Amino acid sequence: MLAMANRFKSAIRVVVFVAAGAAVAGCAAQYRNHGYVPNEEDLAEVVVGVDTRDSVAETIGAPSSSGVLDESGYYYVATRLKHFGPSAPKPISRELVAISFDQAGVVSGVERYGLENGRVIPLERRVTSSGTQNSTFLRQLLGSLGNISPGSLLE
C-alpha cells in the first residue's frame, strides 16, 4: 500500500512538472515573418531611368502588391510580428520598398521605408525629379490660391 502511494505521488509530481513546463513554454514570445523585401545587393541592380517593370520583376522578383490606380508602382512589404501568450500579435518591425514607374513603364524611383515607433520613416530614397508633381486637381487648385494677386484679376 505504501509503495502504491509513493508511485501515485511521483506520478502527480511528473504531471505537475510537465504542466508547469508547458505553461512556461506557452508564454515564451514567438516571432513570425511575413512578406518579402529584396536585399541591398538586389536593389542596387535596379537602375533608375533604365529598368522597366519586366526587368525589375525579373531581377528582384514579383512584388507583394502593385499600384491599384494606373499601375503606378511595385511595393515589397515585410513585417515581423511578436506573439506573446494570449495577447494579439504586434508588429515589431515593418519594411517597405516602393519602386515607382513613369508613364512609359521605366523606373523613376526606388524608396525604402521603415516603421519606427509607429511612424513611417524613409530609410533610403533614389528618385529622379520630373519637374511635375503627382498631385490631384484639388491640391493644385488649393496650392495656387496664395499665388494670385488682385492686379492679375483686373487685367
Q: What is the pLDDT of residues 88-144, one digit of tens each?
A: 888 888 888 888 888 888 888 888 888 765 555 555 555 555 554 555 555 665 555
**For residue 120, what pLDDT is reported?**
55
Residues 99/74, Cβ–Cβ less than 8 Å: yes
**For residue 18, what pLDDT is reported?**
79
Residue 30: pLDDT band by 50, 70, 90 thresholds? confident
**For residue 79, what pLDDT is reported?**
87
Cα distances (Å, whole numbers) of residue 41 to 11, 46, 59: 57, 9, 11
Residues 6+ apart with CB under 8 A from 47: 107
